Amino acid sequence: MEHREYGPPEKRRRVRCILLSVVGLLLLLIIVTVVLGLSLRQNTDKLNPTFIARCQEFKGYDCEKMWDVFEQAYVGRDPCDVPMEAYDPFIAAAPLKPACNRMMFWSKTKDLVHDFTEKRDCYVTVEDSLLGSVLDGLTWCGKEGSSETFTTGCPGWTDCVNNTVRSFWNRVSTAFSDVACGDVTAMLNGSIVTPFHPASIFASIEVKRFDFPRVKSLNVVLVTQNKTVTNCTNASLKDLQKELDQGITYNCEEVTETQIQDCSSHPEKPCGACW
């Protein structure tokens, strides 16, 4: 005869409820673990295909090799301890070439500048080069003890000085300004109080590397709008002039955003007529 233990109905119901709760909790933990794992896997994988696809738009480069060299700068490192120099091999793998009289620098005018350079072949920015293009608008970092690349959980621009992304843009901007030559143009924002802000990459790195006679002149295009708060007499622009190497001539023009956009849309207009 089969032996069974019988207890009060209430006790059996409590036991079943406890068992069901435990099973439900275990299933929930399994689901969360799987979803989180997939999510992290997606985050670590999505930078590589974007990098490779953008790289392949430039002819003559081994993009897989470029990725390998790029990763070596930060993988396995504290994301707040990646100095500019860590990217030296990556910069060397795709040296920036001078584009005399066509090099465009910018500060707080990114969207307008890139809309202009995309539609007109007058100027080139660092983001138009392979080095700048493959990582424009992206976030990445490594972690100590890990061989992966992460795109979430990385320090922000101001969280630490030597963070992965900030060090890269400081380094590639240094390389870009080092090959600036002839007449250089900079598009600055006339809708802010300090268009030449000392903390900007343009002020802290790029201008400081404009050497005469390699760079002959700097033409500032100060973009104005209806709510413009500065003009070419702005105090920060006076500071800009003081930063320039002796011998570099300086010019500033106030140009409306509408005028620049109009010039972008009419490729038949000569670039010199845009401002």
pLDDT digits 0-9 by tens, 151-172: 999 999 999 999 999 999 999 9
Rounded CA-CA distance 74/140 in Å is 9
* Domain hosting residue 207, numbered range: 47-273
Beta strand 215-224 with 182-189 is parallel
> 14 in a domain, yes or no?
no
8 upstream amide cis, omega within 30 of 0? no
Q: Please check whether residue 127 lies inside any domain of the structure.
A: yes
Say what the pTM is.
0.82
pLDDT at 3: 43
**CATH number, domain containing residue 115:** 1.20.82.10
Which residue blocks in 187-230 are alpha helix, DSSP H? 201
- 178 is a domain residue: yes
Helical packing angle, 47-55 and 9-45, nearest 10°? 20
- 223 within some domain: yes
pLDDT at 27: 59
108: left (phi over 0), alpha (psi -120 to 50) or beta: left
The whole-number pLDDT of residue 21 equals 63
Tally of domains within the chain: 1
Helix 63-71 to helix 47-55 angle (10° resolution) is: 130
Q: Which of 185, 165, 200 is nearest to 86 (CA)?
A: 165
pLDDT, residue 273, reads 84
Q: Pick from 251, 190, 252: which is nearest to 226 by CA? A: 190
The Cα 220–Cα 187 span in angstroms is 6
| Residue 17 located in a structural domain | no
Residue 268 inside a domain? The answer is: yes
pLDDT tens for each residue of the chain, 275 residues long = 444 344 555 655 665 666 666 655 655 555 544 444 444 444 446 899 999 999 999 999 999 999 999 999 999 999 999 999 999 999 999 999 999 999 999 999 999 999 999 999 899 999 999 999 999 999 999 999 999 999 999 999 999 999 999 999 999 999 999 999 999 999 999 999 999 999 999 999 999 999 999 999 999 999 998 877 899 999 999 999 999 999 999 999 999 999 999 999 888 888 888 89
How far is the C-alpha of 249 from the C-alpha of 266, rounded, in Å? 30
Q: In what order do the strands lie in the sheet with 249-256?
A: 104-107, 182-189, 215-224, 249-256
Any domain includes 42: no
Check if the beta carbon of residue 212 is closer than 8 Å to that of residue 246. yes
CA 75 – CA 189 distance, rounded (Å): 36
**Cβ contact 150:142 at 8 Å:** yes
